[in-house]
Amino acid sequence: MFRASGAPARRYLTVPDGTAAGPPAPARVLCVQYLATGATQLPRQTFCPPRPMQRDRLYRLLQRTPDPAFALTTLGEIWGWNPAAERLTGIPAEEALHQPFVTLLQPCGPLGEPVDVSYCERAIRDGGVPSFDMQLRARDGQHVWLNVSVLVFEALRTSPAVVLHLGHDITASRRLRAAYEHMVQAARDIVQLAEEEPHLAPVSPLTDQEQRILRAFAEGHGPAQVARSLDISMQTLRNHLHHVNQKLGTHNRLEAVTHAQRRHFI
């Protein structure tokens, strides 16, 4: 079409994208602009203004990312799974793609909340979520941790919306923190025990035979076995236990063993 004067004429053509990598890409729209220059016509092809990122480009970007990265659909299914995610979890892409994320990896947030369909729907509705720590169960049953940044890509004509997660492996620091918290709790228990001991009421000391009896019970031996090992009768054993309960203020042999251990008698 020629036009001698005025604004240039525009026609819009739809051509196949032609890219084979990744999920099927939608058609790409090209703008063909014909500029009138007197008696001759010089065509010039230009891309239309930027549109939402095509899925094939997103898929290639995800595959090139060096850190673990994966994308989920609004149904919570795995749309993309890069090599770093394979190495971290031990699950290859051919087993991960199109599988429910929550079933395959049992993911959860820092407070134990599941990363499921509701999470994906909320992320897409809100246009994203703040970065957070996510726990995953790897193929070997071990738990791994990622700090993930979340990006949402809107739905296209032939592709669903996807929630992209770019992760950084923080498993080592998480395990170190868990070990530290365990040590802190153990220290608190020791301090609490030390504070309790001065408040124990004084009691009469136990005889050597009574200590041997309680030590044998603490090792898991039954009454008959204790009596045989000490070469005493069952009645004598019951008499010893009666005297021990009186001294310690206890009511049975389990309480007696526990109190004796706290007082360092055995």
Which class in CATH covers the domain with range 199-262?
mainly alpha
Q: Where are the domains of the chain?
A: 9-47, 55-175, 199-262
pLDDT at 21: 38
Helix %, strand %, coil % for the chain, to 5? 40, 25, 35
CATH of the structural domain 55-175, one choice from 3.40.50.360, 3.30.450.20, 1.10.287.370, 3.40.640.10: 3.30.450.20
The pLDDT value recorded for residue 190 is: 64
Mean pLDDT by 10 residues, the chain (266 residues): 39 36 37 39 40 73 92 95 96 96 94 92 91 95 95 85 94 86 74 59 84 90 89 92 90 86 84
pLDDT of residue 95: 96
The CA distance from 166 to 149, in Å, is 5
User: Which pLDDT score, from 0 to 100, does residue 233 have?
Assistant: 92
Spacing of C-alpha 174 from chain mean position: 10
Tell me the CA distances in angstroms from 31 to 38, 48, 53, 86, one per residue in order. 22, 6, 18, 41
Structure tokens at 136: 């995953």
Mapped onto helix, strand or coil, the DSSP state of residue 170 is: coil
Please give the pLDDT value at position 116.
Answer: 94
Q: What is the reported pLDDT for 199?
A: 58
Q: Report how far apart, in Å, the C-alpha atoms of 38 and of each of 1, 43, 100, 135, 244 are.
A: 13, 13, 62, 67, 118
Contact 162, 73 (CB under 8 A): yes
List Cβ neighbours of 149 (8 Å cut-off, separation of 6 or more): 131, 165, 166, 167
Tokens of 164: 């992209």
